[in-house]
Structure 1
Amino acid sequence: MTIAPAAALPWGEVWGQDAAVETLRAAAADPAALAHAWLITGPPGSGRAPLALAFAAALIAQDAGDEHTMRQVLARTHPDLTALRTEGSIIKIDDARAMATRSYLAPSAGRYRVMVMEDADRMTERTSNVLLKALEEPPERTVWILCAPSDADLLPTIRSRVRVLRLREPEVDQVAQLIVARTGVDAAVAEQAARHAQRHIGMAQRLATDQASRERRDETLRAVLRVRGISDVVEVAAQIVAAATDDAKALTAERDEAERASLLRTVGIADGARIPPAVRSQLTALEDDQKRRATRSLRDGLDRVLTDLQSLFRDVVMLQFRREGDTINLELIDDLRELAAKWPADRTLTVLDHIAETREALEQNVQPTLALESLLVTVVSGRKP
């Protein structure tokens, strides 16, 4: 598989999805092959959003040589593109309603008006119902593109109104090749990052380029392997939450400050100057959005920890069934073999089941430390509390 050059507009940022690209190229070129609503599904890191934007650019541009329009769409600045993504836990119903209303406008400059909704799986049932009529009876020159990990993440009424395009998951060596090409990191570091990220391209790139992230992951897994009693459970659960919190802050703090400075510059307030009452409400609204993003970032960080723990105990159960060829955590292979020999397979499967339940509990806003303590008690005892 080859890596497309970045200049190959609009598909240059799409990697490893040749069949999907060909399907969408054909649809953009032939109105008879174009469905009015699409759902692009694939595992995290498979490139759903870049593919959706590339498809939008191909639809809006007047022809294959219209690079200016394509660049506008890819930058999310073209007037005929409406792109919605959320950094909160759910998509707000007001945002979905505004998007549905905008979908009825005729395109102002391009061939089509395109509505891209990332994270469509974060719609509640009530929010999903807002989109139903817009998806069922869109104007002739409006195309919807939804993105989600799986079509099962959306209501059946939504699924029945879209054409589903499923993306493939790249292999570890393919992700490593891409990371080397993008960042220039050592091939061994890229391979380890791709393996630890379980082929999630974005996470693999972060692990490959951020030594602190690699160290936090390694420390967390080794700490869980050392858990022996209740005192360890309390300590390690607190350690995991603290590490996820620090990770979330590292991802959001710089952006938060840049957004605040940008807002103050926009309204003409110098650094250190008194903020007038008329601007305080705008700052408060921005801070509220940033708090929601921080909450989501922490939840995503904890989910990544659970994904790493899942990979750890998945390796153990694979060793118990004498399948060592595709071990994810090769750096811990001696510890994994020791655990595989000491535990029965059903105990490992119990831990894996509890990891999945912990993920669901965190999505329901269960206190993170308590959820992780419960999970680690299962690791220690082999039984769910």
Structure 2
Amino acid sequence: MADPDVPDSGVWSEIVGQPGVVRSLLAAVRAADLSVRGDSDTGAMTHAWLFTGPPGSGRSVAARAFAAALQCEAEGGTPGCGQCSACRTVLAGTHADVRVVAPEGLSISVAEMRSLVQAAARRPATGRWRVVLIEDADRLTEGAGNALLKVVEEPPERTVFLLCAPSDHPEDVPVTIRSRCRPVRLSTPLVAPIADMLRKRDGVDDELADWAASVCGGHIGRARRLATDSQARQRREDILRIPRGLQRFSDVFTASSELVRSSEAEAGESGESRDEAEKEELRTAMGAGGSGKGTASATKGANAAVRELEKRQKSRATRSQRDALDLALVDLAGFYRDVLIARSGSTAAPNHPDFADDVAEACSEWTSESTLRRLEAVLYCRRALARNVKPLVAVEAMITTLHHG
């Protein structure tokens, strides 16, 4: 039965399986509205928020919905209508008073953060609030974190900072910043709300929606890709065939190269067209390709700007590849977890119910100790990649252990 206090329309429908979060954010929006109107002294707006939760739980989606509701122009009813100009432009990323920072490389630099702090000091141009949304706040460098801390300590009037991170652990978000933020903790969405979202929002049939929701590990974005992209489904199947496909030692090198190549292909599918479009747009903006006086200097300046853009694009491609490879490693870890569950006789839900036959075969051939060693090898590979070990080297070391056990 639907909760009458949790709206299922407008921007709030974007938040999947988090009724408690929606209630808290909606209450904050209403208090902020009263504060703006001067009708209440007790509803002062919290100027810094920290959205945490496991990957795929919808941290940045919740933050965007909150930002849209804060700017909502609809009179009466529930804030965050999703239909007014403010709601639509915030969700589209084009609202003049909402700045979204999504790191395209491996980190957010201090220079980028200083520029952001300067922009945040201005009063709202068209909306009620100036909102700064920082996705992946755990990627802030030390210098960027210090720059952000200064403005969070003394926030400008009518400016709201929304930070998103996997957790509030000091390794993700420094204690000095965390202590000045109001926490919003998201949990892993359940299978039923994810399946319902796929059916209603993406028009996925019941069987495919239920399957994608059951194998996505609570990752909403992954569920959508699996439900709508046949290539994503094939990549997942190829990855989960690895544990039972390592029959000979030579299979180690074949599987390693295929796994790395698959992650590169996945990262490059959307990257190439985007990169070329960005370069062409920059050349046009810099006056390249024109004729007449000053053409040579314009072309020279454009070429220098393109080279700088290419560096950023290369960093973005590296991050995309590592994210794709990390997702594959999470799938592998889930397989070995399923084997341990089966060997222990636990009734816990498996990560990959559609690979129950492979899990049963592995369960009859491997000991719990060798399965745990394999699982630890996958987790160690993830840590090695986070420390900038070359992907092929890290993956070959991992799959060697998967072969030997």
Scaled by the length of structure 1, the TM-score of the pair is: 0.91
> Which residue in 2 is equivalent to 1:60?
71
Q: Is 1:329 aligned to residue 352 of structure 2?
A: yes
In the TM superposition, residue 217 of structure 1 has moved relative to its aligned partner by 1.4
In the TM superposition, residue 108 of structure 1 has moved relative to its aligned partner by 2.5
* 2: CA distance, partners of 1:79 / 1:43: 30
Query: What's the secondary structure of 2:46's corresponding residue?
Result: coil
Query: What's the secondary structure of 2:123's corresponding residue?
Result: coil
* 2: CA distance, partners of 1:17 / 1:300: 25
* 1: CA distance, partners of 2:196 / 2:69: 27
* 2: CA distance, partners of 1:191 / 1:251: 27
In the TM superposition, residue 90 of structure 1 has moved relative to its aligned partner by 0.7
Moved more, 96-105 or 10-19: 10-19
CA contact (8 A) 1:86 1:119 kept: yes
> Which residue in 2 is equivalent to 1:22?
23
> Which residue in 2 is equivalent to 1:86?
103
In the TM superposition, residue 224 of structure 1 has moved relative to its aligned partner by 2.9
Query: What's the secondary structure of 1:164's corresponding residue?
Result: strand
Q: Is 1:166 aligned to residue 211 of structure 2?
A: no
CA-to-partner distance for each residue in 1:189-227, whole Å, 9 max, x for gaps? 222222222121111111111111111211122133211
Q: CA RMSD in A?
A: 2.5
> Which residue in 2 is equivalent to 1:69?
86
Scaled by the length of structure 2, the TM-score of the pair is: 0.86
CA contact (8 A) 2:121 2:159 kept: yes
* 2: CA distance, partners of 1:147 / 1:2: 28
Q: Is 1:343 aligned to residue 360 of structure 2?
A: no
The alpha-carbon distance between structure 1 residues 214 and 258, as it changes in their structure 2 partners (threshold 3 A), is same
| Aligned AA (2:51) | I
Q: Is 1:37 aligned to residue 48 of structure 2?
A: yes
- Report % sequence identity: 40
Moved more, 259-268 or 153-162: 259-268
The alpha-carbon distance between structure 1 residues 2 and 372, as it changes in their structure 2 partners (threshold 3 A), is farther
The alpha-carbon distance between structure 1 residues 122 and 64, as it changes in their structure 2 partners (threshold 3 A), is farther
Query: What's the secondary structure of 2:164's corresponding residue?
Result: strand
Q: Which of 193, 200, 206 pairs up with 2:225?
A: 206
Moved more, 321-330 or 35-44: 321-330
Correspondence list, 1:1-385, <5 A? 8-30=9-31, 31=35, 32-33=42-43, 34-61=45-72, 64=75, 67-152=84-169, 153-266=172-285, 276-324=299-347, 326-382=349-405
| Aligned AA (1:278) | G
CA-to-partner distance for each residue in 1:70-114, whole Å, 9 max, x for gaps? 222222222222221112111111111111222222223322221
* 1: CA distance, partners of 2:75 / 2:97: 17
| Aligned AA (1:161) | R
The alpha-carbon distance between structure 1 residues 216 and 73, as it changes in their structure 2 partners (threshold 3 A), is closer
* 1: CA distance, partners of 2:286 / 2:143: 36
CA-to-partner distance for each residue in 1:235-263, whole Å, 9 max, x for gaps? 11111011111111113122223333434
| Aligned AA (2:164) | C
CA contact (8 A) 2:109 2:143 kept: no
Which runs of 5 or more structure 2 residues have no equivalent in the other structure? Answer: 36-41, 291-295
| Aligned AA (2:98) | L
Q: How many residue pairs get matched?
A: 380
